Amino acid sequence: MIWTKDPTRLMLVASLAISYALVCLAPYLRTRRKRAAAQRARAEAAATPGWIVAYASQTGNAEQLAAQTLATLRLAGIAAQMSELSELRADDLQRAERILFLVSTYGEGDAPDAAAAFAGRLMTDSLALPRLHYAVLALGDSAYGQFCGFGRALDQWLQAQGAQSLFPRIEVNRSSAEAIGAWRQQLSHLAGTSDAPDWSAPAFADWRLAERRLLNPGSAGAPLYHLELEPLDGALPAWESGDLVQVSAPSDPERAREYSIASMPADGRVQLLVRLHTHADGSHGAASGWLTRQAALGQAVQLRLRQHRRFRLEDNAQRPLILIGNGSGIAGLRGHLKARTASGRARNWLLFGERNEAHDYHYRDELAAWQLHASLEKLDMVFSRDQPARRYVQDSLAEQADEVRAWVAAGAAIYVCGSLDGMAAGVDAALAAALGRDALDQLAAAGRYRRDVY
């Protein structure tokens, strides 16, 4: 070809070719640069997380408010993640710039069960947290001596580590709508949005009191009733074993009372076990008196279902279960035993305490049938007053420490339902003696030690 011999032409063609190549390559290079920048931003975002919404909850109030807090932040375009308090490590606290803590108080001023390890592991140490900005929503009930005890302790500890509070701690007495409104307002202000989603709790509905049966005639203890309820209108809503209902009593509609559900949806009704509470002056408790004495059969009761995630089977559905309880606590355990029987899971050990075999052996025939059909592998009924020396469920546990260790080594999860006074603390001590306190805390943090105690 002629033109290839002409150096000027050659140069011209070469430079045209290079320019053309550059024009073609430019979009590709731009895309590559953009991709690299996005990758860098993602890596930086992972290294410095946005906001963290951390919660510690026993029966789900704080967890639900945490989910609503997270939704509000995300709606405002803020990158946020939700985490159970026990999942936070020291370096998460040190790296984070903003954490919103929503925590309730249990026992006598204690952390909820799942946060016991956090309280024991981190809050006993000092940790420099100069970067951290935080806020605390503390849930509690002023009827208890240590009102919002854990929320207050957490706030004080954070301050002592040099963390900066975004606004003063907000304390919520008995789910006070006013205090929750104040938290929502602070949140909208921080997030720069007035567009917060609806936080109102689901409404109560009318349920018909369909059956009521005294379970313990002649008992030395207070009367205990088996109740059955069905929705007045519409279909039975879904629930899982471990869930609760809230009942609003006509004489105290401001303060709903909680009851463990003792049935499964397949039973067609919500079944409850309610102990009649009598005050020192002889008057009856607002909710238990209403449910067991005042409300007539067929009458409407204001009720709503409440998920109780911390007491559900969830990941433990495949594990052996040790179910421990006393008194009305058989309600929550019966729900689990029904679910286990329905799913064909037979490795269940029930340890249950009451006063006298003659009057207080609740659901005796049902338990016997479950034993016969092998859905209840091991049953220990402990009657405290049937022998000269008092004997409780925790005594039986202590005597069977080897068996407890063997079940836990085989992967068992432990569920405790019933009295906080006496039973829950005694059972906790017996379990800690059998397994070691650290191991028990780890089981709680892993969701393998769950309690519904009141």
Ligand X SMILES: Cc1cc2nc3c(=O)[nH]c(=O)nc-3n(C[C@H](O)[C@H](O)[C@H](O)COP(=O)(O)O)c2cc1C
Separation between Cα atoms, residue 106 and residue 99, nearest integer Å? 22
Q: Does 260 bind ligand FAD (CB under 6 A)?
A: yes
Stretch that binds ligand X, among 104-112, 122-130, 238-246, 409-417 (CB under 6 A): 104-112
In the list 259, 349, 370, 449, the residue contacting ligand FAD (rule: CB under 6 A) is 259
DSSP assignment of 57-124 equals: -SSSHHHHHHHHHHHHHHHTT--EEEEEGGG--HHHHHH-SEEEEEEE-BTTTBPPGGGHHHHHHTTT
In the list 109, 223, 231, 422, the residue contacting ligand X (rule: CB under 6 A) is 109
C-alpha dihedral sign at 254, 302, 288, 451: negative
Region of 314 (left: φ > 0; alpha: ψ -120 to 50; beta: rest) is: left
| Distance in Å, CB of 148 to ligand X, minimum | 5
Q: Does 115 bind ligand X (CB under 6 A)?
A: no
In the list 169, 184, 275, 319, the residue contacting ligand FAD (rule: CB under 6 A) is 275
In the list 82, 116, 119, 148, the residue contacting ligand X (rule: CB under 6 A) is 148
Backbone angles phi, psi at 78, to 5 degrees: -95, 130
Q: Which residue number, 149 or 320, has a Cβ lying nearer to ligand X?
A: 149
Angle between the N-to-C axes of helices 425-435 and 437-445, in degrees from 0 to 180, rounded to the nearest 10: 110
In the list 52, 82, 119, 139, the residue contacting ligand X (rule: CB under 6 A) is 139
> Which does residue 139 bind out of ligand X, ligand FAD, none, counting CB within 5 to 8 angstroms by kind?
ligand X
Q: Which token pair is 218? A: 């002649």
Q: Does 301 bind ligand FAD (CB under 6 A)?
A: no
| Distance in Å, CB of 448 to ligand FAD, minimum | 20
Closest CA to 175 of 135, 205, 136, 142: 142
- CB of 82 closer than 8 Å to CB of 53: yes
Task: Measure the CA dihedral 250/251/256/260, to 10°.
Answer: -80
Q: Does 394 bind ligand FAD (CB under 6 A)?
A: no
Look up tokens 């495949």; give the residue. Answer: 318
Angle between the N-to-C axes of helices 61-75 and 177-191, in degrees from 0 to 180, rounded to the nearest 10: 30
- CB of 419 closer than 8 Å to CB of 454: yes
In the list 175, 307, 356, 371, the residue contacting ligand X (rule: CB under 6 A) is 175
| Distance in Å, CB of 387 to ligand FAD, minimum | 26
In the list 139, 301, 331, 440, the residue contacting ligand FAD (rule: CB under 6 A) is 331
Q: Which residue number, 320 or 418, has a Cβ lying nearer to ligand FAD?
A: 418
> Which does residue 279 bind out of ligand X, ligand FAD, none, counting CB within 5 to 8 angstroms by kind?
ligand FAD
- CB of 440 closer than 8 Å to CB of 449: yes
Consecutive H or E run containing 411: none
Cα angle vertex 114, ends 110, 116, to 5°? Answer: 45
- CB of 291 closer than 8 Å to CB of 225: yes
- CB of 170 closer than 8 Å to CB of 190: no
Residues in 5-64 at the binding interface with ligand X, rule: CB under 6 A: 57-62
Q: Does 264 bind ligand FAD (CB under 6 A)?
A: no
In the list 68, 129, 149, 408, the residue contacting ligand X (rule: CB under 6 A) is 149
Q: Does 145 bind ligand FAD (CB under 6 A)?
A: no
Stretch that binds ligand FAD, among 87-95, 278-286, 337-345, 358-366 (CB under 6 A): 278-286
Q: Does 395 bind ligand X (CB under 6 A)?
A: no
Question: Would you mind telling me the total number of residues written for the chain in this entry?
Answer: 454
| Distance in Å, CB of 274 to ligand X, minimum | 16
Residues in 31-60 at the binding interface with ligand FAD, rule: CB under 6 A: 59
| Distance in Å, CB of 296 to ligand FAD, minimum | 18
Consecutive H or E run containing 199: none
| Binding pattern for the stretch 414-453 against ligand FAD, x by CB under 6 A and - elsewhere | --------------------------------------x-
Cα angle vertex 368, ends 362, 370, to 5°? Answer: 105
Q: Does 239 bind ligand FAD (CB under 6 A)?
A: no
Stretch that binds ligand FAD, among 93-101, 126-134, 183-191, 252-260 (CB under 6 A): 252-260
Task: Measure the CA dihedral 140/141/145/149, to 10°.
Answer: 10
Q: Does 454 bind ligand X (CB under 6 A)?
A: yes
Binding site for ligand X (CB under 6 A): 57-62, 104-109, 112, 139-141, 144, 146-149, 175, 420, 453-454
Binding site for ligand FAD (CB under 6 A): 59, 143, 244, 257-260, 273-275, 277, 279, 285-289, 328, 331, 452, 454
